[in-house]
Amino acid sequence: MNEAFNQRIWSVQVGKNATHAQIIAKRRLREELETEMEKFLAKGGEVETLDRSQYQTFRSPCFDKSIHELQQLAIKNKRKSFSYWCDTHGIAQFRSKNAKCIRCEVTL
pLDDT band at 105 (very low <50, low <70, confident <90, very high): confident
Nearest CA to 101 out of 65, 70, 62 is that of 70
Nearest CA to 79 out of 62, 63, 95 is that of 95
* Rg, Å, the chain Cα set: 23
* Residues above pLDDT 90, as percent of the chain: 28
pLDDT at 107 over 90: no
**Residue of 26 and 59 predicted with greater confidence:** 26
Residues pairing with 86 in the sheet: 90
Separation of alpha carbons 30 and 41, rounded Å:
16
Separation of alpha carbons 75 and 67, rounded Å:
12
Per-residue model confidence (pLDDT) at position 53: 55
pLDDT at 16 over 90: no
